[in-house]
Amino acid sequence: MTTNREFFIKRWEIEQAAFRKVLAAVPHDQLTYSPHERSTTAGNLAWQLADEQRGIIDFLERGETNFQPKPHPPHAEILEEWDRATEGARKALGAATDEQWSQPAKFLFNGAPVWEDTLQNMLWGYLFDMVHHRGQLSAYIRPMGGKVPSIYGPSGDDSGS
């Protein structure tokens, strides 16, 4: 029988290619794009995804992460940090145990606790939030002049082959 931890790792791993494709498809000269004044810019969304990927490592290694929004770096650095964080998360997930999965975890925002739950619930919540923001970012790509990559199947710009 597959454990919740094993299933999470499998689903997380499956999502990684789509995350990387969407991040790479963001036009590097359009990071300030936002469809509305109250919407997050493309660069900040991309940087948030890299930061959330790092947060997975924090949860696994320390039982908590402290999300502190900061301005995004250039596109190439966002991709480099995404790749580093992905490898780090992959290693940390591989080292996780089923016992650890049920331990408490804490999400802090600018140092203040805003969410406490089990590690498994926190990581699932983080993955769902990342998928949500990936979708948001993918909706920005075409208006920015880019091509939307296939995610779960073909897009209007990418046959998925």
Sorted by where each begins, the domain ranges of the chain are: 4-141
> Residue holding tokens 């073909």?
154
Residue 109 φ/ψ, nearest 5 degrees: -120, 115
DSSP single-letter state for residue 63: S
Is residue 160 very low, low, confident or very high in pLDDT (cuts 50, 70, 90)?
A: confident
For 100-144, the pLDDT digits (tens) are 999 999 999 999 999 999 999 999 999 999 999 999 999 999 999
As a CATH number, domain 4-141 is 1.20.120.450
Cα angle at 134 between 91 and 154, to 5 degrees?
Answer: 105
CA distance 26 to 146: 6
Nearest of 120, 152, 131 to residue 52 by alpha carbon? 131
Joined together, the tokens standing for residue 121 give 């619930």
What value does the mean pLDDT of the chain take? 96
Q: Is the pLDDT of residue 161 over 90?
A: no
For 5-58, the pLDDT digits (tens) are 999 999 999 999 999 999 999 999 999 999 999 999 999 999 999 999 999 999
